[in-house]
């Protein structure tokens, strides 16, 4: 049963590492949005701090980078 917890922690580490990488790669803004530009959902505090200047939630950012389906 601990596999699920381990996996979740692993995913979080990957998410944070990726967020820091992206922040260093294109750090153009200095203030993160409280709400996603695309869907209007609140952006989690951890993401706002990890990705300074983020304007989208994780889901919309993925769509933005990979292209919206259809
Ligand atoms: Zn969104």
* pLDDT given for residue 17 in this prediction: 80
pTM: 0.54
Neighbours of ion ligand 1 (CB under 5 A): 36, 38-39, 57, 60
* pLDDT given for residue 58 in this prediction: 93
9 CA from centroid of ligand 1 (Å): 23
* pLDDT given for residue 1 in this prediction: 63
* pLDDT given for residue 11 in this prediction: 81
Given a cut of 50, the residues of the chain with pLDDT beneath it are none
Tokens of 22: 């992206």
56 CA from centroid of ligand 1 (Å): 5
């Amino acid at each position: 049963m601990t596999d699920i917890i381990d996996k979740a922690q692993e995913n979080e580490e990957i998410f944070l590492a990726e967020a820091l990488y992206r922040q260093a790669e294109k750090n153009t803004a200095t203030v993160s949005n409280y709400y996603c530009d695309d869907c209007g959902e609140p952006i989690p505090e951890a993401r706002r701090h990890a990705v300074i200047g983020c304007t989208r939630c994780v889901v919309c950012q993925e769509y933005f980078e990979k292209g919206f389906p259809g």
